[in-house]
């Protein structure tokens, strides 16, 4: 997994690349917690290059959603590959997260 950050409007755009699994989901959690400590609660997670996620990754997303909601921030997930989107659907996470097709669509909605 590779994580990179970018600032657009008042949002932090997070690009996730590769796999999020049980061996590295802690790294993602650490990075997100660092953002929260910086008071950055407006997050757009771009998953265009994410090609694997397991429950350990979903766990971190859900955790982030809870923290963002508690701080009245905003979390948007965009550009999910269909096979990843399927996992979100099955897990009932598609109704919990704001999900957008593309980064453009997400940035328009902000």
Question: Could you list the residues that contact other proteins (CB under 8 A)?
Answer: 19, 21-23, 51-56, 58-59, 62-63, 65-66, 69, 82-84, 86-87, 90-93, 96
Provide, for the chain, the percentages of residues in helix, strand and coil under a 3-state DSSP scheme, each rounded to the nearest 5.
40, 35, 25
Nearer to other proteins, 7 or 71 (CB): 71
Nearer to other proteins, 90 or 108 (CB): 90
Tell me the three state secondary structure of residue 5: strand
How many Å separate Cα 91 from the centre of its chain? 15
Smallest distance, other proteins to C-beta of residue 97, A = 8
């Amino acid at each position: 997994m590779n994580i990179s950050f970018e600032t657009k409007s008042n949002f932090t755009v997070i690009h996730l690349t590769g796999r999020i699994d049980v061996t590295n989901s802690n790294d993602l959690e650490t990075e997100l917690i660092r953002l929260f400590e910086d008071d950055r609660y407006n997050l757009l997670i771009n998953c265009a290059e994410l090609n694997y996620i397991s429950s350990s990754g979903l766990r971190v997303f859900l955790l982030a959603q809870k923290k963002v909601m508690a701080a009245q921030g905003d979390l948007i997930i965009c550009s999910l590959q269909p096979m990843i989107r399927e996992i979100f659907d099955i897990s009932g996470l598609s109704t919990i997260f704001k999900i957008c097709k593309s980064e453009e669509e997400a940035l328009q909605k902000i």
